[in-house]
Structure formats: structure tokens, C-alpha cells
Amino acid sequence: MQGWLLRVPVTRDFPNDFGATLRGHGSAFEIEMTSAPGCVPCGDLWRKLAALGTRYGWRVRVLNRQEALMRSGRLGLPWVGHPVAWARPLADTGRTIPIAVGTDHSQNLARNLYLAAKMLTGVRPAVGVRAMSKFTGIVGVSAPVTGRR
């Protein structure tokens, strides 16, 4: 697992409102994740999300088996041995944004929480994807648009 993480780019540049956004939305959102006994990436992700939750005031909880199965199944995501984490508003169980499939670096998880908070509070998803591209370099550059729209 550590060998895999060494190949994952780490977010090094964050927007000016990063900390304020995460702290400001902490009481209104929670992080939910799937887990399974003996799942090493689950334990790693849990440890990192718990630290972020403490730092920014976000509640972190593990989904029960039935919830995990339903949520992951709707999106076609694996969950046994492959942790999946979501951010969602406390007041709306139907609005969730996946923030991790498997484990990741803490900085990348924090970035994904920030983008989820922005999208769940009104920023258009396209803006969130462009932000991810800017701050990570993971999302590829779009092909040039030809012709008029």
C-alpha cells in the first residue's frame, strides 16, 4: 500500500479560503466511509479521515454493512477491502459526494473534502473539476474547442 501511495501526486497548493471553508462547514457536514474487518486500506483511510475530522470539526463515521452495500452499489463502486468515503450534509442523506476510493495522502483527502464542501454549497461541479485540475494536475487538460457554441 505504501508503495502505491508513493506514486500518487500530493496536493501542494491550496486556495486561500481552504482552512476557513473546511472549519466553517464542519458542523454541517459529515464524512462516511465503508470498512471491513482486516481491510488495511480501510484502517489507513480511517486514521487520516479521523485526524482531518478532528482538525476541521467534521464528524466521521463508518457506514453499516447495509448502508455501504446500497451506497456503493448505486455508484457501481467496490467496498469490501476497498474503502470508499463520502462527504454529505448532515441534514440531507441523499446528497453525497465520493471523496476517496481506497486510501490517499492526507493532503489529497483534505482537498477532496474542500471541493465536496464547495460543490454541496452551490459551486457547480464543472468548477470543482477545474479546481481539482489546477490544484493537483491529475485531471487532464481539455481539448481545444473548435467552432462556435
The per-residue DSSP string of 103-114 comes to ---HHHHHHHHH
Alpha-carbon distance of 138 to 120, in angstroms, equals: 22
Residue-wise pLDDT for 64-109, tens only, equals 888 887 877 777 766 555 788 999 999 998 888 888 887 888 888 9
Instruction: Give the percent of the chain with pLDDT over 70.
Output: 80
In which band, very low, low, confident or very high, does the pLDDT at 35 lie, cut at 50, 70 and 90? confident
Spatial neighbors of 14 by CB under 8 A, at least 6 apart, are 111, 114, 135
Q: Which residue spans within the chain are E strands per DSSP?
A: 29-33, 59-62, 84-89, 97-101
Q: Parse the chain into domains and list their residue ranges.
A: 2-7+17-136
Q: What angle (nearest 5°) sits at the alpha carbon of residue 52, between those of residues 51 and 53?
A: 90
Residue 12, pLDDT above cutoff 90? no
Contact assessment for residue 33 and residue 96, using Cβ atoms and an 8 Å cutoff: no
pLDDT at 38 over 70: yes
* Residue 141: predicted pLDDT: 43
pLDDT of amino acid 105: 86
Cβ atoms of residues 106 and 22 within 8 Å: no
Reply yes or no on whether the pLDDT at 57 is more than 70.
yes
Q: For residue 100, what are the β-bridge partners?
A: 85
Q: Per-residue confidence at 132, pLDDT binned at 50, 70, 90?
A: low
Pick the CATH number of 2-7+17-136 from 1.10.1840.10, 3.40.50.2300, 1.10.260.40, 3.40.30.10: 3.40.30.10
